[in-house]
Amino acid sequence: MRPDPDLTELGRHLGYEFRDPGLLRRALAHRSWCAEVGGPPSNERLEFLGDAVLGWVVADLAYRVHGDLAEGKLTDLRKSVVNASALAEVALEIRLGDCILLGKGEDAAGGRSKPSILSDAFEAVLGAVYLDGGPPAAFGLVERLFTDRMATAALRLDRLDFKTVLQELTARLHDTAPVYVLSDSGPDHDKRFFATVIVAGQSVGYGEGRSKKTAEQAAAEQAWVSLSDDGDPNDSNSNDSDSNDGRG
């Protein structure tokens, strides 16, 4: 367990000065530290609040900035930046890991670099910003840190191979590969193809199209969205034993 961190540098990285520094310190208090020192509340309630605030701001930015995207792509865009892996990258960028209050055991086990701990702490800090400065402060923080990431993610979604990312996801979640069941109907000159994705014995996605490839991609996209509600496709630690809700 390190000494209490100097939070001035973190404030500079956030681009926000807390009126109540105690809120920021509470946002950095991991439950392992609280258990060791005995008594102070952990950052879990602030994490809950920050998670909701983050979802709201990202949805707002996605809707306003990426008006060319359909609803399904907007959902994919949100998932691509609101997940443990992506949030951990943001946390590392602002050097949040240096400031988290961890118990000795968790610190020795590399807790400062765990995506689940980093992402939870970032959400807690965002919750603290929301309480300290209100919605404008929280919105400004997310906008500064996520606008460029969302633009990059939107471009990537345009060329995303859902069969590939689904295979990577199912390998992590279930140690298995997806199975595609194909059927077709109609005359040769006007045939339509139908695909169902089976993962671990369960049907998780359906798609159709004018070609086998189109049908399989559509089914894989639906399966990816469905499964990533339970396990983040970008987070290899989504089943971390330190997790409460799939992120930490």
Residue 12 CB: number of other CB atoms within 10 A?
12
CA 145 to CA 133: how far, in whole Å?
Answer: 17
Pairing of the two strands 192-199 and 179-185: antiparallel
What is the torsion angle, in degrees rounded to the nearest 10, for the CA atoms of residue 248, residue 226, residue 52 and residue 99? 30
Distance of alpha carbon 68 from the chain centroid: 22
* Nearest Cα residue to 86 out of 164, 17, 148, 175: 148
Q: Please list the active-site residues.
A: 51, 123
H-helix or E-strand spanning residue 48? helix 44-65
Pairing of the two strands 192-199 and 202-209: antiparallel
* Nearest Cα residue to 199 out of 234, 237, 168: 168
Q: Rounded to the nearest 5°, which phi and psi values hold at 203?
A: -80, 120
What burial class does residue 51 get, using C-beta atoms within 10 Å of its C-beta: 0-12 exposed, 13-18 middle, 19+ buried? buried
